[in-house]
Amino acid sequence: MPLISRTFIKAGMIFFALSLITSLLIEVNISALPGLIPLFWHMLIVGWITQIIFGVSIWMFPGRNRDEGFKAQLWGWLTFIFLNTGLILRVISEPMSGVAATGIWKILLVLSAILQVLAVSTYIIEMWPRTMSKKQQREKRKRQRNRKKKEERQ
């Protein structure tokens, strides 16, 4: 399993645990912070389910670049950074914007929205061309082999 997928899945597991801790806080009603219910759902659906889908699909879908590293897995790493930064910013700023009247929390909330849209966009950029048939996969491999041969000859 590539590093990017392992990172996605482990981050997803942390959000899974955090979402259930949040649901406990909601159930026992001990938190003074508002807006925990949407946070619980988003940590569960975005932080856990979507994140594990991202990690597994980047690993299992055809046409994966087997080289490791940030540059080789650029769109995957950007997705990871945007998604997790966006979600963490939301987890912090959404309850705080309900408690404190300062504008910084509102700005962070908007930034979180932008980052999550960016995460989805970079994920689609990575995965759209990889949603391909076996024939397309063979042709892609053939093109890659030919390109490598050309580079070796030069």
Question: If binding is defined by CB under 8 A, does position 113 make contact with other proteins?
Answer: yes
Residue 39: CB minimum distance to other proteins, A: 12
Instruction: Single out the residue of 55, 52, 109, 108 nearest to residue 77, CA to CA.
Output: 55
Residue 121: CB minimum distance to other proteins, A: 7
Question: If binding is defined by CB under 8 A, does position 88 make contact with other proteins?
Answer: no
| Out of 1, 3, 17, 45, the residue judged to bind other proteins by CB under 8 A | 45
Residue 98: CB minimum distance to other proteins, A: 9
d(CA 79, CA 96): 25
d(CA 11, CA 31): 24
* Closer by beta carbon to other proteins, 26 or else 130: 130
Instruction: Single out the residue of 115, 129, 116 nearest to residue 58, CA to CA.
Output: 129
Give the Cα-Cα-Cα angle 26, 32, 38 (nearest 5 degrees): 45
Tokens of 40: 């619980």
Q: Which residues bind other proteins (CB under 8 A)?
A: 45, 49-50, 53, 57, 61-62, 90, 94, 97, 105-107, 109-110, 112-114, 116-117, 120-121, 123-124, 127-128, 131-134
